[in-house]
Structure 1
Amino acid sequence: MKFRSHEPNSVDVDLTSMIDVVFLLLIFFMVTTTFNHNSALKIALPTASKNPETQNIKNKLELLIDSQGRYYVNGREVLNTQPETLFQAMTEVLNTLQGTPSLVISADANVNYQAVVTAMDIAGRLGLTNFSMATTQAERQK
């Protein structure tokens, strides 16, 4: 009697639909993610009667000072609060920008005044004469 040899069936896994789902999820998360750098640091800005428009400035250097007096240059924290460290951090960022950028200082309303004066002094040493202080607009009293 002659027996047939049984060949095992090859098992193929079709990954096409799984790859499609992964790409759709990737697109979904990319579209729904918001990148708001203002929410990264909690800074309570002081109020002023008029809020200047600093959002439209393209070539700008942002310096944030939180309530503990820590400095952040363009969103990156400076290692310590020493003036020379801040000078070096701002110099590195200025070397990447073209021309003379505008400086926007965003200091917490409860920050020590000395931290703001130090930042303005460093800006003067770097030749940054065009700078503004970020504030929130005061509510009108009725």
Structure 2
Amino acid sequence: MAGKKRRVAIRIDMTPMVDIAFLLLIFYMVTTTFKPPEARAVELPMSHSQIELPDKDIINITVTKDDSIYVDYVQVAEIEIEGQLVTTTVRYVRTCDKYNVSSEINRARAKILTALLVIKADRNASFGIMDDVMSSMQENHLERFLIITDQETTASEGT
């Protein structure tokens, strides 16, 4: 029995694998682009219809429950830097009132000619401010726009 060899335990160092895992995690966190935060939280009304909005060329007109109006849009431009074509995006968010909402919309439409107008109004916003926004759009011959709502679910869909 004295001639038996002692078993040596094999030990695998896990430190390099943990380092690589955390480096990959940090890399994905840094390179991932998230949805930009909303200008204000808006509680949308309910609707039955569903239309997919395009990813670009949208001018959002947001009306909050305290009757604040925000016009925001994203402008995409391609510029040449050192012989390479680089795409840049700039997001504009402008606060306006019922008197200058049409001028802000016209300013945004001048930068994005083919833009789709989208109204995102809180369900608790006053009717008067919505009427003012839509009237100012009609005065400027902007009669085609979409109103964003939440999808209404029936009792059978919810359970």
Shorter-chain TM-score bucket reads 0.5 to 0.7
Q: Deviations over 1:76-117 (max 9, x none)?
A: 2424x2x33212211211111124x32110000000011111
2:153 alignment partner in structure 1: 139
State how far apart, in whole Å, the 2-side matches of 1:62 and 1:33 are.
20
Q: 1:57/1:120 Cα in 2 relative to 1: closer, same or farther (>3 Å)?
A: farther
Q: Structure 1: which amino acid aligns with 2:109?
A: L
2:119 to 105, 117, 122: 105
1:86 alignment partner in structure 2: 101
1:95 aligns with 2:110: yes
**Alignment TM-score, normalising by the size of structure 2:** 0.61
Higher share of residues assigned helix: 1
State how far apart, in whole Å, the 2-side matches of 1:98 and 1:69 are.
27
1:122 aligns with 2:136: yes
Higher share of residues assigned strand: 2
Q: Structure 1: which amino acid aligns with 2:62?
A: L
Q: Is the 8 A contact 2:94 2:104 kept in 1?
A: no
Q: 1:140/1:41 Cα in 2 relative to 1: closer, same or farther (>3 Å)?
A: same
- TM superposition shift of 1:129: 1.8
2:45 alignment partner in structure 1: 46
Q: Structure 2: which amino acid aligns with 1:104?
A: V
Q: 1:33/1:60 Cα in 2 relative to 1: closer, same or farther (>3 Å)?
A: closer
Q: Which runs of 5+ in 2 are unaligned?
A: 1-23, 74-92
What's the secondary structure of 1:78's corresponding residue?
strand
Percent identity over the alignment is: 19
Q: Is the 8 A contact 1:63 1:106 kept in 2?
A: yes
What's the secondary structure of 1:90's corresponding residue?
helix
What's the secondary structure of 1:128's corresponding residue?
coil
Q: Is the 8 A contact 1:51 1:136 kept in 2?
A: no
Give RMSD over aligned pairs.
Answer: 2.5
State how far apart, in whole Å, the 2-side matches of 1:27 and 1:92 are.
38
**Alignment TM-score, normalising by the size of structure 1:** 0.68
Q: Structure 1: which amino acid aligns with 2:45?
A: P
State how far apart, in whole Å, the 1-side matches of 2:57 and 2:31 are.
27
1:70 aligns with 2:68: yes
Q: Which runs of 5+ in 1 are unaligned?
A: 1-23
Q: Deviations over 1:51-71 (max 9, x none)?
A: 322x22643321010111111
